[in-house]
Amino acid sequence: MPEQLGFVGVGKMGGPMAGRLLDAGHRLTIFDTSAAALAPLVARGAEAKASALEVASAVETVFLSLPTPDIVRAVALGAGGIVAGKRVKTMVDLSTTGPRIAAEIAAALAEKGIAAVDSPVSGGVGGAEKGTLAVMAACAREHFERLEPVLRIFGKVFYIGARPGMGQTMKLANNLMSAAAMAISCEAIVMGTKAGLDPQVMVDVINAGSGRNTATEVKFPRAILPRTFDYGFATGLMYKDVKLCLEEAEELKVPMWVGSAVRSLWQYANGELGPASDFTALVQCIEKWAGVEVKRGN
């Protein structure tokens, strides 16, 4: 049954997810600091508010899709945040914050009688547009059962567990593997290109063999070989996710030798390319050292 829902953060990921809620017949109350992000949803019937607090005072369920842990904490718990909302009963965080931030936010919201659903997503902007995201939900079972029909609008839903932060741990493990796949694929294909191999042929062979991964299957053909570097996920966000994962591993006393190398490369790329760069531009860092360019027709 269609509901009146709130959505805070309707940018690259949140915008398409909010749009899918409208497609499914839900009514939306939204907020974003960008008027340009709000405009297409308002044109489709969403009601824009002036703050997250106003959204949380208008609806019972509020979704968040925000870029960094600090912003999520501020929007959830800060002055003028969700915690002070007059009507909100449930906050669903679709962002990537790390498990400790998720637990902190859940505890603070619980004191005000607000349930927190830790539900990060994976699959990029394309997955958000198509409704094919992996949705990782951690919360009390009764909240999950109530929200699952709405979460299914975003993609395939997984119940990770009852404890806030479990969804974040799952997301960080996934994104570390994604970041590692991109890093090693860039190194291997730059090496082959410098040795005289055609990078398109390399990608085709890898994708037919045991080395295939998300970078070679999707990101190289779509954004690296054509040199568009427009996949839609920022270098700074990937570095943030890898950094959060390594911090969690250190807290758990789990060794991450490969993960540490992956973090170092993404840290370098973040400084070299800038946090706003598309994360597929990572290959340019390797190319610069090698003195070769990976593109179709090499």
Q: What's domain 169-290's architecture?
A: Orthogonal Bundle (1.10)
Query: What is the average pLDDT score of the chain?
Result: 97
For the chain, the domains span 4-162, 169-290
- Distance from C-alpha of 295 to C-alpha of 288, rounded to nearest angstrom: 14
Contact 56, 88 (CB under 8 A): yes
pLDDT band with cut points at 50, 70 and 90 for residue 298 = low
Which helix (H) or strand (E) segment holds residue 28: the answer is strand 27-31
**The pLDDT of residue 151:** 98
**The pLDDT of residue 3:** 83
Q: What is the CATH code of the structural domain delimited by 4-162?
A: 3.40.50.720
pLDDT of residue 75 exceeding 80, the answer is: yes
Residue type, 9: G
**The pLDDT of residue 38:** 98
Tally Cβ neighbours within 10 Å of residue 287. Answer: 19
Q: Enumerate the active-site residues.
A: 171
* Two structure tokens written together for 211: 């080395």
Q: DSSP label at 19?
A: H
pLDDT tens for each residue of 8-56: 999 999 999 999 999 999 999 999 999 999 999 999 999 999 999 999 9
The answer to whether 4-162 and 169-290 have equal CATH topology is no
Residue 285 Ramachandran class (φ > 0 left, ψ -120 to 50 alpha, else beta): alpha
**The pLDDT of residue 292:** 97
Contact 178, 184 (CB under 8 A): no
**The pLDDT of residue 60:** 98
* Two structure tokens written together for 160: 């990770």
Residue type, 230: D
pLDDT of residue 1 exceeding 70, the answer is: no
pLDDT band with cut points at 50, 70 and 90 for residue 296 = confident
What mean pLDDT is predicted for residues 79-98? 96
Q: DSSP label at 220?
A: I
DSSP secondary structure letters along 241-280: HHHHHHHHHHHHT---HHHHHHHHHHHHHHHHH-TTSBGG
pLDDT of residue 297 exceeding 80, the answer is: no
pLDDT tens for each residue of 185-210: 999 999 999 999 999 999 999 999 99
Q: Which residue has the tokens 């270098």?
A: 235
Give, to the nearest 10 degrees, the angle between helix 166-194 and helix 99-110: 160
* Two structure tokens written together for 223: 């954004």
What is the pTM assigned to this prediction? 0.93
Contact 124, 135 (CB under 8 A): no
DSSP secondary structure letters along 81-115: SGGG-SS--EEEE-S---HHHHHHHHHHHHTTT-E
- Distance from C-alpha of 176 to C-alpha of 206, rounded to nearest angstrom: 21
- Distance from C-alpha of 243 to C-alpha of 280, rounded to nearest angstrom: 18
What b/e readout covers 134-161, taking b as 16+ CB neighbours within 10 angstroms?
bbbbbbeeebbeebeebbebbbebebbb
pLDDT band with cut points at 50, 70 and 90 for residue 216 = very high
What mean pLDDT is predicted for residues 231-245? 96
The CA–CA distances, whole Å, from 107 to 160, 170, 210 equal 18, 20, 44
Do strands 133-138 and 121-122 pair parallel, antiparallel, or not at all (unpaired)? Answer: antiparallel
